[in-house]
């Protein structure tokens, strides 16, 4: 099963469970049914947005902490320049 199929399956399962509880097919105590169940989609949306903002912030915070990737990228650029010069392409200065 691919990751997309797995994600769609989980989303359908969770939405089916939510609808079953929201439409009172599965009964829960009255306080939960009237006060908690209706706000679950908003809570999920806010939680997902918070998670994405955290991941974005962490990515920005740790952006310069990958010296190995920098060295690898610079080596690939130098290799590409050498290859292009060998083929007669002007690539500018180093």
Confidence (pLDDT) at 39: 96
Identify the three-state secondary structure at position 73: helix
**What is the per-residue pLDDT for 94?**
58
Q: How far apart are CA 26 and CA 20, in angstroms?
A: 6
Q: What is the pLDDT of residue 46?
A: 98
pLDDT value at residue 2: 93
Domain coordinates in residue numbering, the chain: 3-63
90 token code pair: 């002007």
- What was the pLDDT predicted at 65? 66
**pTM for the predicted model, two decimal places:** 0.59
Give the chain's residues under pLDDT 70: 64-65, 94
Annotate 32-41 with b (16+ C-beta within 10 A) or e (fewer).
eeeeeeeeee
What lies within 8 Å, CB to CB, of 35 at 6+ separation is none
pLDDT at 34: 92
Cα radius of gyration (the chain)? 26
* Dihedral sign of CA atoms 75, 76, 77, 79 in order: positive
């Amino acid at each position: 099963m691919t990751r997309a199929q797995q994600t769609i399956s989980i989303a359908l399962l969770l939405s089916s469970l939510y609808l079953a509880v929201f439409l009172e097919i599965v009964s829960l105590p009255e306080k939960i049914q009237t006060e908690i169940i209706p706000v679950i989609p908003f809570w999920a949306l806010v939680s997902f947005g918070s998670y994405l903002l955290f991941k974005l912030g962490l990515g920005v915070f740790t952006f310069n902490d990958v010296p190995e990737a920098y060295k690898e990228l610079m080596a690939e650029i130098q290799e590409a320049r050498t290859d292009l010069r060998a083929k007669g392409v002007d690539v500018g200065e180093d």
